[in-house]
Every structure is written in C-alpha cells, then in structure tokens.
Structure 1
C-alpha cells in the first residue's frame, strides 16, 4: 500500500497503549484532529492513562456535547414518528440515528449533524407534504438543484426546520437510481428490524447497516467526515462479528446487493487506518469479487489514504487536493452515467464561477 503517515487520531482510536509517553504537543494535536473529524467524543471514551488535565477538560466537554446531541436526535426522531403516523407512513432510520436507536454503544458517543430516514418510494410525496406543513423547508432553492434531487438522486432535497434549525434527509433508496450500483431496496425493507417502543419505525439489519455505511462512504464523495464513518464501520464490525457466521453472511449479502466493491474498500481502509482485524481469506475474496487488481488498487490507495484523513492541516500533503478532486469526480461518475454527468459538472462549474463574480 502507499505509505502515508497515519494521523495520531488513528492511533488513539485503535490502540490506547500508543499514547503512553505522549507529551502536551501530541495530545494537543490529537484533540485538534479529532475535533476536525467530529470524533472527539469517541476518542474521549478511550480508556487512556495519564491524560493531561487540559486534554481531560476537552474530553469532558466533548462527552457533554455528545449527550446533548443524542438527546436532540432522539427528540427529532420521536417528532418525525408522530408526524408520519398521521398517514401511517413507515420509515427506516439510517446512519447516526440508527446507531442510536439500535442501542449500539458507539452510537451514544457519535455527533449528529442531521437525521436520515428512508421511506417507501410511493409514500415520498405524502411524507414531504407532511414535513413542509410542519415547519420543514428545503435548503436547495434553485430550479436545477430541485430537478437534480427529484429526478436523479436517492433522496429529497435536504430539509431544515425553520424554528429548531435541525436538518433532515429523506431517502427513498440508499443509492441514486442512476448509480452503477443497481440495488433492490425491497430487500432492505424485507430484513429491517422494528425499533422498540416506536410504531412503524425500523432500523436496517446489522449487515445491511454496515453495507449502507460502506456504500455511502465510498461512493457519495463527501469525505468531510470520512474517518468518522470509517470508525463507525470498525465499531460495527467489532459489534457484529461476535457470531461465527458473520463474515460469510456479510460477504453473501454484499454480493446479493451488488455492494462487494464498497465493502472491500471499507474493510481494507478500516484495517489500514484503525487496525480492523479482517480474516485474510475474507479480504482476499472480497478483492477478487470486486475485481480490484494491483494497478487499480494502487490508484485507490493513493486517493483514499488521503481522502479519508481528517481535514486538518497536519494530515495533508502535496497530493491531497488532487486526490480530493479526483474522488469528487469519481463519486459523480459512480452516481450518474456520462450523458448526465458531463452537463451536470459543467453546470455546477458555471454556477461556482457565477458566485465568484
């Protein structure tokens, strides 16, 4: 693999013993990297020894923020459930809110920027009308962006509540309909799990939850929280792999859903950045099924080992900007066929130039 120095954040998340002997400079840099990656509260859960007083204060504050954030997320989900119950619309919690309501320990220390839900495609219009009637407004106001989301994307334009300023993403599937990943969303609904105490509210099955996180991270193009999402995946594997049939079930489901490539990348880079222990036979078979040969893998290493780093100045090099640009183009290529992609990118470029005038 391409050799790039791992950030201190990776060490702190994957091996608590590595901090022994750290001085104030290392702790200060760790905190800055973790805060930039939205992982400070998760780092604060580490059982570190001899933490300097100032670092302890940052950790205490991060835990307070995470608890308040989790309370707010719970309140939002309960309000969403109340509203959609008016028309008996079921929904699946995705990503952060799902980890919280599935009662995973790692979900309690995660910071949430929005709530993501999945509703049946045939209920999408009704759900949107309910939200708009109750104070949610779209944040994408120009005509082209509205068309982009409604015709080509897997979700409505993002919504924001006019009073609470909370954000909501309403999905009808987990990958764009125009994506290279041709996923049957009914298969995810068939395996979803009810949330205790909330009628018509579900989470994905454990394996589907992990696969969704993988395809989101490695095809969406938003790496602002890349290492946080990779940490989520690492935590999920640690939680789910306690059963002997986990690895075979994960591989089989990834093949069934057509998501073996993002799964391979998730396991590979979680191993690199966070020391995730993946059986050799599993990673080799995933690589074979993903058709990721030596040359392609070298290119992906160059890109992802920069793109997944915390967006902090200590984690960049001369190729970081180039890697991020290529990953941006790649994400759009995965999302849209070329006849749609080229006009879309040209339009977005023109819009940026207009803003800069």
Structure 2
C-alpha cells in the first residue's frame, strides 16, 4: 500500500500537508488539496485506522527548547530541520511539536523561553541543556510536574532525563587527537582554542578536550598542547590579537584543535600564519565550515549528524508517550571524519520513518 510519504513525493508537498488533507484540516489551498485527493483516489489509499484511533483518543504536546541559529552560528539550523521532519511524521499519531529558541549567550533568555514552553502544558520536553546551573533549576520543575524530558546534543549527568540523544564527545575528541598525530612531526606543538566554562555547550567542549588530551597522554606523545580560553568568539579584533600574540611567541605550533563548530572563524584569524600552521581540526558540517574545508583552510571536520539527532529526539519521545516504550538511555550518533574529498552535498538527512 502506498504511504503518506510516497503520496507527498508524488504531489510535491510535505507529508504534513497530505495528512491535513486526509483529515480535512485547514491550511492547504484548494488546488493543492484537489491534486492530493486525486492521487489518493488513484492509488486507493486507505487511512491507517490504528494511527487515526490513537490520534483521536488522546493528543500529546512535545515542546522543544534549543539555541537560536544565525548566519554566524549555523549549527542549530540542522537539528531544527530534523525536529521539523519528525513533527510532520508524528502529527497523524496525535503528537503536536512546538519549538522554542533562546540566545545561547544568555541564561536569562534560556529561562524566559522555558517559561513560555511551560505555558503550552507539554506532556514531554526535548531540551538542549546549555547552561549547567539553570538546567538544574529547569529540570527540577519538569520532575516536579512529572514531565519526561530528553537531552539533545549535550550530555549532563544527574538530571534524571529519559535519555540523551547526541554524540559521544569524549570519543570524538579522542579521534581528533589521533588525526592530529597523523599530521604532525614528533616535536611539533598544538594549540587548543575553546570557550570559557561559563559559555554554552561547555560540557560537550570539555569532554572533547578531555578525550583529546587523554589520547596524547595514553600514546605518550611529546606534543606540547597550548590552550586558549575565549570569552567571545564574536569579538573579532580582540580574539585575533590574542591568537596572533601567542602564535608569534610559540613558533612550533603546527596544528590547531577547535572543539566546537566555529573552526571557520579560527581559519580566518590564522590566515597570516597558514604556511607555519598547516593543520586545523574542527567539528560540524556548517556552510561556513564546509567552505573553509573545500578551500583547504580546515584539514578535518568531525561530524555528528545533527539532523538525525533532532529527528530522533522527537521520534523517541513520541514513541514513549504513545506506546510507553522507553528509549535507550543513550542514543548516540556516529562519529564521522569529513575531508573536502568526501564532503556531502549538504547535511546527510538520514532518519528512520516513524514509528
């Protein structure tokens, strides 16, 4: 039997649009609706009565709280696309997904957006636990209200979350060090550039650095690893001056490790040192990082399939609400090494069709 996804492809619309037509919901033009009805009739489509029954019996709301994305910080666009894809697919099962965003430099924005999220009376929450102290406060509220929640992308212990969906950050940092070893000679130095502990995603970053350092120590390598803590990646002049000052003093630095998605920013700041520092390793296939990779300004990127992370966070929580099937405590995405030779055309959007 033909599926909603296949009908959507034939009609050149989203599965959510097909679902609205099947269930006579508003929001679709009459011309598009008529085209979809003709395809439904042509293929003798029958509504999944089990799914429809579940949807009519009880409806659920999943609220998602994740950081904003913009031109400079593009990473969070891709998990959001995965969340929106899952939203389309769980809609016919009676699950509504609402998304909320916050400024990842502002704990107040994080709390304010969470307060708006609570006003939707969700039965489940997907949360990117960006700020440690504030996350403890928010999760205590969810526990008191008996609302199950999933952590997306950032793993934090001691919060009683239903599961974590993301990458093993320690292993990804360990892999980055192994790649760096392949690039450098025995007495070369390394520079690690990371955010200060009060900034976002610190837990992921610290685990990547820990994995990186662990590999160097485990292999008894002689590389000296210099480290810079950055208060603000967006303060270009201050940041550039800080890096230039260090690189002029430490002339043995040949490789730079950036344990976040902003490797392209570092690539710009070291343009005057490219001959002396040929190797740069970073994370995530954003548009800016991809361009720098193709241009030879970044040596390796480590990808974590953020589209898949967004999709699986919503689909896993939906299955828990609908069928009371608890997910695994960790749903880990693969660790992929990306070079300019195997760079995919855009984010690889692989996911399993719900349910």
TM range (shorter): under 0.3
TM-score, length basis structure 1? 0.26
TM-score, length basis structure 2? 0.26
- Structure holding more helix per residue: 1
Report the structure number with the largest CA radius of gyration.
2
